[in-house]
Amino acid sequence: MDGTGGADFDVLSDQVAAAERIGLDGVWSTEVSRDPFLPLLVAAQKSSTLLLGTAAAVAFARNPMTMAAVANDLNTFCRGRFVLGLGSQIRAHIERRFSMPWSAPAARMREYILALRAIWTSWHTGGKLDFRGDYYQHTLMTPMFRPEPNPFGSPRVMLAAVGPKMTAVAAEVADGLLLHGFTTARYLREVTMPAVHAGLRAADRSRADFAVCYPGLVITADDERGYLEAVQRVRRQIAFYAATPAYRAVMDLHGWGDLHTELHRLSKIGDWAAMTAMIDDDVLSTCAVIGEPKHAGAEIVRRFGELVDRFTLYTPYPLDQAARSAVVEGIKQAG
């Protein structure tokens, strides 16, 4: 639900109505400048069909018990349509913004999700809560604090992952994977999906029970002015991601390691204009789907139809509802 910051209920309501009208399957709420959960209450009131999820809530900013409670309440309120998307964030934010402990994130996240599931199982079955891990211990659940069993079951848990360790954790213990927007079709095919399949095999799980969601960058518009703005905004977004060391693997796979090094250097001095100018048409067309709306929809299916289960339109620029609707229609026709 872009463009609201999570605070304007009228705009949120309009966005939910528009999402239903143009045929989207669901909406995601982010944790950037606002709480990721509260906007979904509005969405649940305005829609009885849309899938509603966080993409992503910062797991390590909260302990498993508080996360389990809000997710259980939302899944009840949404009548089983809530998806808990979790992310780890980076060390500086966890320690300095949230004042929470930091450790190797993949191992902690694995235990975090297992703790969530133990808490929900205790609530649903009435059994004793006795979770003891290296990072979290939950051993007290008295009747006064035990929620009534949720008739819709536990929410699905999806995990945001970039590196191979967190991807393996997702495949082992989560219900799906939230990919990063700076992911190419080649990186998905050659790096991410093999890691997913290996993780699922190791955990004796089926790919059919595991959802892969991708927020892909799309450049489209109904007019030339809008198209040029979209190109510039996406170039800038790609420059930001391509300069980030955590995403260097994508750059290296495509032979753009030297470009990453220079972008990273420029980012240290804040020269965003120079960085944006370095994103040439080859990088742009590899990292983003480009075309008029219906063509863009067909290209999304061609590139990603066999790789991902859900595709989110990632448009860091204003995109009117008519164009968005045309993209969705192009996806449906091509699919």
DSSP letters for 87-111:
E---HHIIIIIS------HHHHHHH
CA distance 4 to 110: 32
Task: Give the domain CATH number at 303.
Answer: 3.20.20.30
pLDDT tens digits for 244-299?
998 999 999 999 999 999 999 999 999 999 999 999 999 999 999 999 999 999 99
Tell me if 81 is assigned to some domain.
yes
pLDDT tens digits for 51-82?
999 999 999 999 999 999 999 999 999 999 99
Tell me if 263 is assigned to some domain.
no
DSSP letter at 139?
Answer: -
Tell me if 39 is assigned to some domain.
yes
Reduced to 3 states (helix: H, G, I; strand: E, B; else coil), residue 130 is coil
Q: Two tokens at 77?
A: 């309120």
Tell me if 230 is assigned to some domain.
no
Tell me if 300 is assigned to some domain.
yes
CA distance 103 to 86: 17
Is the per-residue pLDDT at 189 higher than 90?
Answer: yes
pLDDT at 4: 45
Does the pTM of the predicted model rise above 0.75?
Answer: yes
Q: Contact, 71 vs 144, CB < 8 A? A: no
Across residues 93-105, what is the average pLDDT?
96
Q: Are strands 156-160 and 176-178 parallel, antiparallel or unpaired?
A: parallel
**CB-count burial class (<10 Å; 0-12, 13-18, 19+) for 224:** exposed
pLDDT tens digits for 115-128?
999 999 999 999 99
Across residues 152-170, what is the average pLDDT?
94
Tell me if 251 is assigned to some domain.
no
Q: Contact, 178 vs 159, CB < 8 A? A: yes
Q: How many domains does the chain have?
A: 1
Q: Are strands 137-138 and 131-132 parallel, antiparallel or unpaired?
A: antiparallel
DSSP letter at 149?
Answer: P
- The average confidence (pLDDT) of the chain is 94
